[in-house]
Amino acid sequence: MSDPTRQDHVVQEDEKASHTAKTEAISEAKDVESGNSEKRTVEAPDAQHQSSQPDGEAGATDEAKNYVQGVRLYMISAAFIMAGIMLGIDGSILATAIPRITSDFNSVDDIGWYASAYLLAQMALQPTFGRVYIYFEAKVTFLLSLLVFEVGSVICAVAPNSAVLILGRGIAGAAAAGMLTGNLAIFGQVVPLRSRPRGMAIMTGLFSVATLAGPTVGGLLTDSRLTWRFCFWINLRECALLSSSNYRNVEMSPESKTKTTARLTYMKSPSLMESHKMNDETNNNNNNALAFGFIAAVIVIFFLQRKPGKMANLPLKEKVNRLDLASASVLAASLVCLFLGLQWGGSTEPWSAPRVWGCLVGFAVLCVAFIGLQAYRKERATIPLRLLRQRTVAVCCIFSGLYGVAVVTHAYLLPIWFQGVKGTDATISGVNMLPSTIASTVAILIAGFGMTATGYYVPFMWAGAVVYVAGSAMYTILRVHSTVGRWLGTQILAGAGFGTAIQVTFIGVQVVTPAIDMPTVCALEVFFRQLGSSVGISIAQSIFLNQLTGRLEGIPGVDPGKMIRSGVLEGAWSTESVAASVIPSVKEALNSAVTTAFLLPVGATALAAVISLGMERRRIEDDRVPAPGTEIGVHPDRASNSSESGPPQP
Report, as an integer, the average pLDDT of 191-206.
81
Of 621 and 187, the one with more pLDDT? 187
Helix (H, G, I), strand (E, B) or coil at 349: strand
Q: Predicted confidence band at 110 (pLDDT cuts at 50, 70, 90)?
A: confident
End-to-end CA distance of the chain: 67
The one-letter amino acid at 209? V
**Beta strands in 590-643, from DSSP E residues, in sequence order:** none
The residues that bridge with 345 in the sheet, in sequence order, are 349
Of 154 and 112, the one with more pLDDT? 154
Angle at 165 between CA 283 and CA 227, to 5 degrees: 40
Of 610 and 620, the one with more pLDDT? 610
pTM (two decimals): 0.73
Can you give the pLDDT at residue 42? Answer: 31
Q: Is the pLDDT of residue 371 over 50?
A: yes
Q: Is the pLDDT of residue 634 over 60?
A: no
Q: Is the pLDDT of residue 313 over 90?
A: no
List the one residue out of 177, 62, 200, 120 whose CA is nearest residue 519. 177
Phi/psi-derived region of residue 559, left when phi > 0, alpha when psi is between -120 and 50, beta in every other case? beta
Report, as an integer, the average pLDDT of 230-254.
48
Can you give the pLDDT at residue 203? Answer: 83
Distance CA 99, CA 107 (A): 10
Can you give the pLDDT at residue 608? Answer: 97
Q: Predicted confidence band at 491 (pLDDT cuts at 50, 70, 90)?
A: very high
Residues 6+ apart with CB under 8 A from 149: 86, 172, 175, 176, 179, 235, 293
The one-letter amino acid at 110? D
Helix (H, G, I), strand (E, B) or coil at 558: coil
Can you give the pLDDT at residue 292? Answer: 63
Convert the pLDDT of each residue in 420-458 to its tens digit: 888 887 667 777 888 988 899 899 999 999 998 899 999
Distance CA 410, CA 408 (A): 5
Write the CA distances from 208 to 183, 239, 414, 440, 559, integer angstroms. Answer: 15, 18, 16, 9, 38
Lowest mean pLDDT segment, chosen from 63-72, 397-406, 533-542, 583-592: 63-72
Q: Predicted confidence band at 230 (pLDDT cuts at 50, 70, 90)?
A: confident
Residues 6+ apart with CB under 8 A from 35: none
Tell how far CA 257 is from the center of its chain: 33
Q: Predicted confidence band at 568 (pLDDT cuts at 50, 70, 90)?
A: low
The residues that bridge with 349 in the sheet, in sequence order, are 345
Report, as an integer, the average pLDDT of 502-525.
88
Distance CA 305, CA 459 (A): 36
Q: Is the pLDDT of residue 187 over 50?
A: yes
What value does the mean pLDDT of the chain take? 75
Can you give the pLDDT at residue 516? Answer: 82
Can you give the pLDDT at residue 309? Answer: 59
Helix (H, G, I), strand (E, B) or coil at 619: strand
CB atoms under 10 Å from CB of 515, counted, come to 26
Q: Is the pLDDT of residue 529 over 80?
A: yes
* Residue 350: φ, ψ to 5°: -70, 160
Lowest mean pLDDT segment, chosen from 159-163, 536-540, 587-591: 536-540
Contact 108, 229 (CB under 8 A): no
Write the CA distances from 300 to 143, 171, 312, integer angstroms. Answer: 8, 22, 20
Contact 113, 168 (CB under 8 A): no
Radius of gyration (C-alpha) of the chain in whole angstroms: 26
Q: Is the pLDDT of residue 17 over 90?
A: no
Contact 595, 478 (CB under 8 A): yes
Of 221 and 453, the one with more pLDDT? 453
Report, as an integer, the average pLDDT of 492-512.
92
Convert the pLDDT of each residue in 264-292 to its tens digit: 333 333 333 333 333 333 333 333 334 56
Can you give the pLDDT at residue 572? Answer: 53
CA atoms within 13 Å, Cβ hemisphere of 167: 10
Of 647 and 388, the one with more pLDDT? 388
CB atoms under 10 Å from CB of 462, counted, come to 16
The one-letter amino acid at 180? L
Distance CA 40, CA 231 (A): 51
Task: Give percent above pLDDT 90 in the chain.
Answer: 29
Distance CA 218, CA 402 (A): 28
Contact 319, 136 (CB under 8 A): yes
Convert the pLDDT of each residue in 548-560 to its tens digit: 888 888 888 777 7
The one-letter amino acid at 476? T
The residues that bridge with 456 in the sheet, in sequence order, are 619
Q: Is the pLDDT of residue 476 over 80?
A: yes
The residues that bridge with 425 in the sheet, in sequence order, are none
Residue 187 burial (C-beta neighbours within 10 Å; 0-12, 13-18, 19+): buried
Q: Is the pLDDT of residue 641 over 50?
A: no
Q: Is the pLDDT of residue 625 over 90?
A: no
Can you give the pLDDT at residue 164? Answer: 93
Convert the pLDDT of each residue in 25-41 to its tens digit: 445 444 444 444 333 33
List the one residue out of 165, 527, 535 whose CA is nearest residue 341. 535
Q: Is the pLDDT of residue 395 over 80?
A: yes
Cβ burial 619-636 (10 Å sphere, 16+ → b, else e): bbbbbbbbbebbbbbbbb
Write the CA distances from 220 to 101, 214, 225, 256, integer angstroms. Answer: 14, 10, 10, 9
Distance CA 109, CA 102 (A): 9
Distance CA 203, CA 85 (A): 9
Task: Give percent above pLDDT 70 in the chain.
Answer: 71
Contact 265, 415 (CB under 8 A): yes
Q: In this structure, is the dihedral angle defined by the CA atoms of residues 381, 382, 385 and 386, taken in order, positive or negative?
A: positive
Angle at 508 between CA 78 and CA 537, to 5 degrees: 80
Contact 227, 279 (CB under 8 A): yes
Helix (H, G, I), strand (E, B) or coil at 456: strand
CB atoms under 10 Å from CB of 239, counted, come to 14
Q: Predicted confidence band at 576 (pLDDT cuts at 50, 70, 90)?
A: low
CB atoms under 10 Å from CB of 182, counted, come to 27
Contact 197, 456 (CB under 8 A): no
